[in-house]
């Protein structure tokens, strides 16, 4: 079981809701994936004069927990305002805090992120910060009140998969008691398996599923990949070795010796 802010969950897959070919495909994908959490962008869905109303109703009807996000925010004030709007719309204190600092990489502005996380935590929000694998920033976010950390593994939408495995491994080693969710940059189920094998608690992804030729099938593939990685982590994997080790017993020796 995964526990996020005292909420117990069976699924370790969190799905984004943008870029699906149609609302019907989104609904079927969420159902097939068995995810229990979807993230929704307030700004994206209300941009360009859109009210977002019909889309937000559709999300509420999915029957899963909603994690609103502040995608597209570049300042503390924008992010705080968006979080407050999200709380009104979805009646939740959960917020995925995204504060973009670099236009090409969509890298988070970790300085503003910590500041916004503190303001929102003090206001009763339960903050899921989209961050980098920087250990010091992680520590500051925990001090600011976050009880979950969500490092990227590659730029949003890049599908590159884990770019800094030693960095992710160090994060797991440093924050042993904190739920760690890889958010952004996953491209394939095998990427999700890899980060779960490192001991991450869950994976949040959007583009790799929504932009697949068959999002429903792909969501199922990700769900299986995440489960496989989790079970392998729990089972305890062999460390790679330089030398060969015969796997068949030598004649005359006991099979179980």
Does 82 contact ligand DXP by CB under 6 A? Answer: no
Q: What does the angle CA 168 – CA 13 – CA 145 come to, to the nearest 5 degrees?
A: 60
Q: In terms of CB distance, is 113 or 186 closer to ligand DXP?
A: 186
Q: How far is the CB of 152 from ligand DXP (least distance, A)?
A: 7
Does 69 contact ligand DXP by CB under 6 A? Answer: yes
- 3-state DSSP assignment of residue 194: helix
Q: Which residue is nearest to ligand DXP (CB)?
A: 16
Q: Distance (Å, rounded) from C-alpha 201 to C-alpha 221?
A: 18
Does 153 contact ligand DXP by CB under 6 A? Answer: no
Strand partners, 15: 38, 205
Does 109 contact ligand DXP by CB under 6 A? Answer: no
Does 64 contact ligand DXP by CB under 6 A? Answer: no
Upper half-sphere CA count for residue 71 (Cβ side, 13 Å): 20
Cα of 138 vs its chain's centroid, Å: 15
Rg (CA), the chain: 20
Does 33 contact ligand DXP by CB under 6 A? Answer: no
Q: In terms of CB distance, is 9 or 159 closer to ligand DXP?
A: 159
Q: Distance (Å, rounded) from C-alpha 68 to C-alpha 86?
A: 6
Of 151, 162, 179, 185, the one binding ligand DXP (CB under 6 A) is 185
Q: Distance (Å, rounded) from C-alpha 174 to C-alpha 143?
A: 14
Does 186 contact ligand DXP by CB under 6 A? Answer: yes
Does 35 contact ligand DXP by CB under 6 A? Answer: no
Of 33, 35, 112, 206, the one binding ligand DXP (CB under 6 A) is 206
Q: Distance (Å, rounded) from C-alpha 96 to C-alpha 48?
A: 22
Does 39 contact ligand DXP by CB under 6 A? Answer: yes
**Active site members:** 96
Q: How far is the CB of 143 from ligand DXP (least distance, A)?
A: 23
Q: Name 3's Cβ contacts closer than 8 Å, sequence gap at least 6.
A: 9, 179
| 194 phi/psi in degrees, rounded to 5 | -60, -45
Ordered alpha helix ranges (H), 123-214: 135-143, 165-174, 189-197, 207-210
Of 144, 184, 223, 226, the one binding ligand DXP (CB under 6 A) is 184
String marking each residue 157-176 x if it binds ligand DXP according to CB under 6 A: x-------------------
Q: Given the rule CB under 6 A, which residues bind ligand DXP?
A: 16, 18, 39, 69, 71, 156-157, 183-186, 204-208
């Amino acid at each position: 079981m995964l526990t996020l802010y005292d909420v117990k969950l069976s699924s370790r897959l969190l799905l984004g809701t943008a870029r699906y070919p149609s609302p019907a495909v989104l609904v079927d994908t969420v159902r097939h994936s068995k995810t229990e959490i979807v993230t929704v962008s307030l700004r994206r869905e209300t941009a360009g004069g859109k009210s977002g109303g019909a889309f937000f109703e559709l999300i509420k009807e999915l029957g899963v927990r909603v994690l609103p996000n502040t995608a597209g925010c570049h300042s503390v004030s924008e992010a705080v305002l968006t979080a407050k709007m999200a709380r009104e719309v979805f009646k939740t204190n959960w917020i995925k805090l995204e504060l973009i600092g670099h236009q090409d990489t969509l890298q988070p502005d970790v300085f503003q992120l910590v500041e916004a996380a503190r303001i929102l935590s003090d206001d009763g929000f339960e903050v899921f910060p989209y961050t980098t694998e920087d250990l010091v920033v992680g520590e500051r976010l925990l001090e600011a009140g976050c009880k979950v950390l969500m490092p990227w593994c590659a730029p949003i939408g890049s599908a590159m998969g884990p770019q800094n495995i030693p960095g992710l491994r160090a994060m797991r080693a440093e924050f042993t008691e904190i739920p760690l969710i890889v958010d952004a940059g996953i491209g394939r189920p095998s990427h999700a398996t890899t980060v779960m094998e490192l001991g991450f608690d869950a994976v949040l992804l959007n583009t790799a599923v929504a932009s697949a030729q068959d999002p429903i099938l792909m969501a199922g593939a990700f769900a299986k990949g995440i489960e496989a990685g989790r079970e392998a982590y729990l089972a305890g994997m062999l460390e790679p070795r330089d030398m060969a080790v015969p796997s068949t017993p030598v004649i005359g020796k006991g099979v179980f010796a």
